[in-house]
Amino acid sequence: MSRRQQIANALTAVALAGGIAWLCTAVLGNLGRETDWAKAWQYRESLWIGWWLTLKISLGALLGSIVFGLLFLLGQRSPLPVLRRTCRLFLEFVRDTPLLVHLLFGYFVIFAPLLSRPLADAGFEDKILIGGLLLSLFGGAYLGEILRGGVESIPRAQWESARAVGFSPVQVYRHVIFPQALRRVLPAIAGLFVSLIKDSSLLSVIGVSEYFYNTKNFIARSYAGLEGYVPLALGYLILTLPVAWLSHWLEKRFRHET
């Protein structure tokens, strides 16, 4: 980096820091006189329970989306036209409609009438399990499309070379196609997983007492403002930042291996 670039970089950093400091001072100055952080402390147990439930739902949805994403990928590459078209139709439906519609329609119309009583009799919370399932299906549909694009971007010569040395279809995917495809689609997968964690807040519409739901109740009961929104933002940052950091680490690792 030249000296001129270093000076420009330093001046830009100072200007950005000054702008952010001014904005924070202006916002906190207006709100600081009305904040009472003792309110958040009084509701700490409810907020913690909601955050912990959001963490478990997010982990389950991430794992479920990987399973469904692989199934949708294989379904779209199936030699059976009926299976390919069915997967294509379902993926288009998911991509062209909001997640909120999926949660409301999927829970109240499809899954709740079928599964609520059996799950309750077995001692499970139906809203949590069904909500996690719907999130997994939604994320899996997008993940299947991302993986399909990555797999189909691999040149045909790679497939033919793998078959020429005697690899089975499973070995072709495992040792040749997936390692190359994942390098290409890793940023998109990381973005999807981060969005999926944040979208778990929409489960509040079906009555799941996750982090957003409990924070909303805390704000409504205590008339809090900043005391509720700051912990809410920090709680989701704690959940999403590890996914982003892991993605950057994997990108660097794959780049060095390549």
What is the total count of domains within the chain? 2
pLDDT at 200: 92
Same domain, 5 and 68: no
C-beta separation of 188 from 146 below 8 A = yes
Q: Nearest to residue 86, comparing CAs of 65, 71, 104, 66?
A: 71
Give 94's contacts (C-beta < 8 A, 6+ positions apart).
102, 137, 138, 141, 142
Gap between the Cα atoms of 64 and 67, Å rounded: 5
**What is the per-residue pLDDT across 226-249, written as a single tens digit (0 to 9) for each?**
788 888 999 999 999 998 888 888
Same domain, 18 and 82: no
**What is the per-residue pLDDT across 132-152, written as a single tens digit (0 to 9) for each?**
999 999 999 999 999 988 888
Same domain, 106 and 206: yes
Same domain, 27 and 125: no
Same domain, 81 and 105: yes
pLDDT at 22: 82
Give 228's contacts (C-beta < 8 A, 6+ positions apart).
40, 215, 216, 218, 219, 222
Residue ranges of E strands in the chain: none
pTM score, whole prediction: 0.84
Same domain, 50 and 176: yes
For residue 177, the enclosing domain spans 43-257
Gap between the Cα atoms of 88 and 75, Å rounded: 9
Q: What is the percentage of the chain residues whose pLDDT exceeds 70?
A: 95
pLDDT band at 59 (very low <50, low <70, confident <90, very high): very high
Same domain, 54 and 164: yes
Residue 237's H or E segment, with its range, is helix 226-257
Gap between the Cα atoms of 130 and 120, Å rounded: 12
**What is the per-residue pLDDT across 71-84, written as a single tens digit (0 to 9) for each?**
999 898 888 889 98
Q: Which is higher by pLDDT, 32 or 69?
A: 69
Same domain, 144 and 234: yes
Mean pLDDT of 89-100: 89
Lowest mean pLDDT, pick from 65-69, 119-123, 213-217: 119-123
Same domain, 18 and 59: no
pLDDT at 31: 59
**What is the per-residue pLDDT across 21-44, written as a single tens digit (0 to 9) for each?**
887 777 666 655 567 777 778 888
CATH number at residue 152: 1.10.3720.10
Exposed, middle or buried, 205 (CB in 10 Å: 0-12/13-18/19+)?
A: middle
Same domain, 50 and 146: yes
DSSP-derived 3-state class of residue 96? coil
Same domain, 70 and 126: yes
Q: Nearest to residue 95, comparing CAs of 62, 147, 136, 142?
A: 142
pLDDT at 157: 84
Same domain, 82 and 123: yes
